[in-house]
Amino acid sequence: MRAILLNRGIQALFVLLVIAGWMWATEVRGVSRLFLPPLDSVAASFQRLVSSGAFYEALKVTLSTVAQAYAIAVVSGILIGYLVSRSRFSTAVFEPVISGIFAIPLTLFFPLFILFLGVGVSSKIAYAALYSFFPVCLNTIAGLQSVEPRYIQAARSMGASSLEVFRHVQLPAAFPVLVNGLRVSFLICFAAVLGGEVLMSVEGLGRNISQSAESMNTASMYAWIVFVILTAFVLNMVVTFIENRAKEY
């Protein structure tokens, strides 16, 4: 507990130092406003985006994109992971292929999603779903592989169907590894949606950042970045909380 408090204290101190450095650079050194606008103009811009409700529209678009992409990734990841793990042979055939594809920077394929699905939300859903599919699938395979085969045989010999074996033996045993994959894949999903929005889109949080950058409205860009960072911290806390609760269970 004390260690956590100490960490939080150090982090708070660091944030204060960054703010102090920012003020020093803009007020004393006179860094160009185009690169680093004064803190009060960013604060004003931030206040405007909060009070005008502009954040709400963008946040809604981004979070609903994340939710849809994540749902696709989780369902398909667990399903394909399960199917691949049905036999040792298919695991040996497919697992290296799946982890090999994941080693390629999948951002490369982003232009294809734009070509197939356009600049709207759907290309971001598909792109983020593809990205976050891999950790779910790979962790499902790893988790199912770690299940003691004797338990499965015991359940089988007592007349359990495949579904019952999955529900009562494999899923509980693979759960900790799977939960880890679910957390990692959610964070990847969020980053991928933001990335897709920054690279090419018409709405969402990421789009607001790149749009303010393109119009050289730096104060607004910083305000949106601060907003996204706060969102990332909140999501991170929520996910860690859920993970800890799930592991207790």
Partner 1 sequence: MTPIDATGPSGILSRKALTQDQKVVYTRILVILGVVVFWEIAGRFLINPAFLAPPTHVVRALFTTIFASPEIRYAIWLALVEVTIAYALAVVVGIAIGLAVGITEPGRKAMFPIIVMIWVIPNITLLPLFMVVFGLGPVGKIAYAFSGGIFPIMVNVIAGMRNVNQLYVRGTQSMGGSRLDELRHVVFPNMVPSLFTGLRLGMIVTMLGVIASELYVSANGIGYYTRLYSEVYDPAPLFALILTLAVISITLNELVRLAERRFTRWRR
Given a contact cutoff of 8 angstroms between Cβ atoms, the answer to whether 235 and 67 are in contact is no
Q: How far is CA 242 from CA 15, 113, 151, 219, 239, in A?
A: 26, 32, 28, 35, 5
Tokens of 97: 């292929």
Is residue 222 a contact point for partner 1 (CB under 8 A)? yes
For partner 1, give the closer residue by CB, 166 or 208: 208
Nearest to 217 by CA among 42, 28, 13, 12: 42
CB of 9 to partner 1, least distance (A): 9
Tokens of 171: 């899923």
Residue with tokens 């900790």: 176
Tokens of 169: 């033996």
For partner 1, give the closer residue by CB, 98 or 160: 98
**Binding mask of the shown chain, residues 38 to 77, with x at each position contacting partner 1 by CB under 8 A:** ----------------------------------------
- Residue from 25, 210, 242, 243 touching partner 1 (CB under 8 A): that is 210
Phi first, then psi: what are they for 169, rounded to 5°? -115, -60
- Residue from 45, 62, 185, 218 touching partner 1 (CB under 8 A): that is 218
Segment 119 to 178, residues that bind partner 1, using CB under 8 A:
none
Nearest to 219 by CA among 47, 93, 59: 47
Is residue 115 a contact point for partner 1 (CB under 8 A)? yes
- Residue from 154, 233, 241, 245 touching partner 1 (CB under 8 A): that is 233
- Residue from 194, 201, 203, 220 touching partner 1 (CB under 8 A): that is 194
Q: How far is CA 123 from CA 24, 127, 193, 218, 221, in A?
A: 42, 6, 10, 27, 24
Segment 92 to 111, residues that bind partner 1, using CB under 8 A:
92-94, 96-97, 103-105, 107-111
Contacts with partner 1, residue ranges (CB under 8 A): 6-8, 10-11, 14, 34-35, 89, 92-94, 96-97, 103-105, 107-112, 114-116, 190-191, 194-195, 198-200, 206, 209-210, 212-214, 216, 218, 221-222, 225, 228-229, 232-233, 236
